[in-house]
Amino acid sequence: MKLLTGNDLKSGLVTWWTGKDWSINIEDAVDVGEEGEAILAAEQEAQRVNSAYIIDGDEDAGTPRPGHIKDRVRALGPTVRPDLTLKPNDASAIDKVV
């Protein structure tokens, strides 16, 4: 699957394209298929999100999983600060990144 991601202009937080908007939770991300470039162009014009790009991913137990470790770290948060990740109470979250 193809995912579209970037950082929110105002907060800087990692965001994922949900089909009609952006979300900080990768669970909300959708497969953009062949539409990625078109959405990217439109969203660049809208200037809500910075440095947006398309990545490869696959699905893992119903949740999108980025193909590269960098984007998996982006999706979760710093692996050395589980308290600051999006899953502070999930002890296995970091193992899934690596």
Partner 1 sequence: MYKYDQYDQSIVDARVAEFRDQVERRLAGEITEDQFKPLRLQNGLYLQLHAYMLRVAIPYGTLNSEQMKMLAHIARKYDRDYGHFTTRQNIQYNWIQLDQTPDLLADLASVEMHAIQTSGNCIRNISSDQYAGAAADEVTDPRPWAELLRQWSTFHPEFAHLPRKFKFAVIASEEDRAAMRLHDIGIQLVRNDAGELGARFFVGGGMGRTPMIGPMVRDFVAADDLVSYAEACLRVYNRYGRRDNKYKARIKILVHELGKDEYTRQVEEEFKHIKTLNLDPPKAELERITTFFQDPDYDKSASDDLDLSDPDFAIWVDQNVKTHKQSGYAIANISLKPIGGIPGDATSAQIDVMADLAKEYSFDELRVTHAQNIVLPHVKKSDLYTLWQKLDEAGLATPNLDLISDMIACPGLDYCSLANARSIPVAQKIAQRFSDVGKQKELGELKLKISGCINACGHHHAGHIGILGVDRKGVENYQLSLGGSGAEDVSLAKITGPGFDEDGIVDAVEKATNVYLKEREGDERFVDTYRRVGMAPFKEALYD
Cα separation of 26 and 89, whole Å? 17
User: Residue 32 or residue 94: which is nearer to partner 1 going by CB?
Assistant: 94
Which residue has tokens 């999930």?
Answer: 90
Q: How far is the CB of 98 from partner 1 (least distance, A)?
A: 8
Q: How far is the CB of 70 from partner 1 (least distance, A)?
A: 6
User: Residue 3 or residue 14: which is nearer to partner 1 going by CB?
Assistant: 14
Q: How far is the CB of 14 from partner 1 (least distance, A)?
A: 6
**Contact positions toward partner 1, by CB under 8 A?**
7, 9-14, 47, 50-51, 67-70, 73-74, 77-81, 84, 98
User: Residue 20 or residue 47: which is nearer to partner 1 going by CB?
Assistant: 47
Decide: 48 and 89 in contact? Cβ < 8 Å.
no
Cα separation of 13 and 48, whole Å? 12
Which region, left, alpha or beta, applies to residue 12 given φ > 0 means left and ψ of -120 to 50 means alpha?
left
